Amino acid sequence: MNKRMNVIRNILKSRSEKNGIFFTKIQKILGFKPKNISIYEKAFTHRSMNIKDKKGNAINYERLEFLGDAMLSSIIAAHLFNEVPEGNEGYLTKMRSKVVSRKHLNELGKDLKLIDLMRSNIPNSQFGINIHGNIFEALIGAIYLDRGFTYCEKFVKEAVIEPYIDIESLEGQIISYKSLLIEWCQKEKKAFKYEIYEDTGKDEMKHFAVKLWINEKVIAKARATSKKKAEEKASKRAYFALQSRMKS
């Protein structure tokens, strides 16, 4: 009986120590104390853990990611609205897209080393690059549920706006070469099309190849592991080939 009690005490002690370490790390990232640490634990739980609550609902970061995405978007929108009073709706929308782009969010998640706190049955090395941004958004959702909008806004300002948002720099960033190219073609009344076909190369992963036609002339070619990536890569090559004409 004593041995069994000792085992139980050791298990509880181990859990308590782990929770304490997690609490300390989260507090360091946030810059303030969490009230309900269980919300943050959910934000760092991958679906591969296959954990459910008493009602059978899945416990993982995905719902918090949805909430965090909405909160982040609204806070950034308000900041741009106040900082750029002359910006019209189209301009503000583009600028917000640059701030909350998947690439940018992944960089933020990486900088904060959020992946190190993830609970998962999958090795970190097997996650795609977007996991970093997904967890970052889940963290923002957790902050909102735990401490409300004021603390959520404070964290976004300190973690995103102050160190990363510079209006002049953002204006020069291109987040989608494909969108830029299509917009230019439509403005200049040029016919364009993306001709996509499955690549028959010897790669282990399936690849797609694309030819970008403008006014019945192939301007750029590219190949990648998805149609979307191939189109973006071809668009980028076309942009640099036509850069002087597009800026004139």
25-38: buried (b, 16+ CB within 10 Å) or exposed (e) per residue? bbeebbeeebeebe
| pLDDT tens per residue across span 17-60 | 456 789 999 999 999 999 999 999 999 999 999 999 889 999 99
Per-residue pLDDT of the chain (248 residues; tens, 9 = 90+): 555 544 444 443 444 445 678 999 999 999 999 999 999 999 999 999 999 988 999 999 999 999 999 999 999 999 989 988 888 898 888 888 888 888 889 989 999 999 999 999 988 888 888 999 999 999 999 999 999 999 999 999 988 888 777 666 666 666 677 887 888 888 888 899 998 877 766 666 778 888 888 988 998 888 888 888 888 888 888 888 887 777 65
- Check for a shared fold between 23-171 and 177-247: no
* Measured distance CA(82)–CA(87) in Å, rounded: 10
Class of domain 23-171 (CATH, top level)? mainly alpha
Helices (H), 31-101: 37-43, 62-83, 89-99
Write down the pTM of the prediction. 0.67
Alpha helix (H) ranges present in the chain? Answer: 2-30, 37-43, 62-83, 89-99, 102-111, 131-156, 162-164, 167-171, 177-187, 227-247
State both tokens at 97: 């897209």
**Stretch (H or E) spanning 200:** none
Angle at 20 between CA 15 and CA 22, to 5 degrees: 95
Q: Which residues partner with 223 through β-bridges? A: 209
**Active-site residue list:** 69, 137
Backbone angles phi, psi at 211, to 5 degrees: -115, 130
Q: Residue 102: CA atoms inside 13 Å, Cβ hemisphere, count? A: 6
Which residue's structure tokens are 């399936």? 206
Domain boundaries, the chain: 23-171, 177-247
Q: Which two tokens stand for residue 20?
A: 């304490």
Class in CATH terms, 177-247: alpha beta
**Shortest CA distance to 133 belongs to which of 44, 65, 216, 226?**
65
Query: 10 Å Cβ neighbour count for 235?
Result: 24
Cα 223 to Cα 171, 177, 198, 206, 233, distances in angstroms: 29, 15, 9, 10, 8
The greatest distance separating any two alpha carbons of the chain, rounded to the nearest whole angstrom, comes to: 84
